[in-house]
Structures are given as C-alpha cells and as structure tokens.
C-alpha cells in the first residue's frame, strides 16, 4: 500500500464516527419535529390526514435502524484501524497514530502532550504510517 492509501485506511474510522454523529443529529431533529406534531394535536377537526404522528414515529424508527447499522460499521472500522495501529512496534509512533486516528486529536495537542516540536511529530507520523502493515479488506 502507498502512503496515501494507508492514510485513507486510517481515516475510515473517524469518518465512520462522523457519519454516526450525523445520524444522531437527524434522530434528534426528527424527535423535535415529532414533539411539534404532538403539541399541534388538539382534537379539533383539521386539514391533516391524522397520520402525522405515526409517520413521525416511523421516520424515527427508520433513522434508529440506520444508526444501528452505522454503529456496526463504525465498530468494524475501529477494530481494523486499531489492529493496524497496534501492529506498530514503537510505542511513541503507536501513540501518535492512536491519538490521531482513533481519538481524533489535533496535531498541536499530540505534539504538546509528547513534548515534541510539531514538525518533528509530523515526521514521526510519516515514519509510523510507512511502518504500518495493513491486511487487505
């Protein structure tokens, strides 16, 4: 694998987490909309078809199913990325990769926490990525 292919592989987990967060936001929005529907129900005759609440509940359930599927994909991604990272022998390089690709930390924080210069940290990162052995998936 090339350096860029390894980076793409490592980024999969954080991307999966972001997708999961987006679905969670969607569920919250659907719940907010459903709450407005229930507040609007007064028992007075209206122009609606009376199915607004059941549709809202159905949308929430569909989004929750989508979230469960995404959570499974996220967990699988994490397992694969973590396995590749834990295969790196050097503890500092492994820590850099874990902080960046599992925890999603910024470079400045990783460098500061390791008492290293940012440029040196980026060089170590490159070496760590080059050391990675990634099995085909």
Convert the pLDDT of each residue in 42-92 to its tens digit.
555 555 566 777 888 888 888 889 889 989 999 999 999 999 999 999 999
**What is the Cβ-side half-sphere exposure of residue 84, based on CA atoms within 13 angstroms?**
27
* pLDDT band (50, 70, 90) for residue 35: confident
| pLDDT at residue 137 is higher than 70 | no
Domain for residue 136, yes or no? Answer: no
Domain for residue 126, yes or no? Answer: yes
Domain of 115, in residue numbers: 3-41+51-131
Domain for residue 46, yes or no? Answer: no
| pLDDT at residue 40 is higher than 60 | no
Domain for residue 31, yes or no? Answer: yes
Q: What is the pLDDT of residue 51?
A: 74
Domain count, the chain: 1
Query: Helix or strand or coil: residue 14?
Result: helix
**What is the Cβ-side half-sphere exposure of residue 88, based on CA atoms within 13 angstroms?**
22
Domain for residue 118, yes or no? Answer: yes
**What value does the mean pLDDT of the chain take?**
87
Which pTM does this prediction carry? Answer: 0.77
């Amino acid at each position: 694998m090339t350096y860029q292919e390894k980076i793409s592989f490592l980024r999969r987990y954080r991307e999966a987490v972001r997708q999961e967060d987006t679905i969670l936001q969607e569920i919250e929005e659907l719940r907010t909309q459903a709450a407005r529907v229930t507040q609007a129900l007064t028992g007075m005759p209206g122009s609606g078809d009376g199915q607004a609440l059941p549709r809202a509940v159905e949308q929430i359930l569909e989004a929750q199913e989508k979230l469960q599927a995404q959570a499974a994909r996220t967990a699988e991604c994490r397992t694969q990325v973590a396995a590749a990272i834990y295969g790196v022998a050097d503890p500092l390089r492994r820590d850099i990769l874990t902080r960046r690709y599992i925890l999603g930390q910024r470079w400045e924080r990783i460098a500061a926490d390791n008492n290293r210069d940012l440029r040196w940290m980026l060089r170590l990162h490159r070496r760590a990525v080059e050391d990675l052995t990634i099995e085909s998936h």
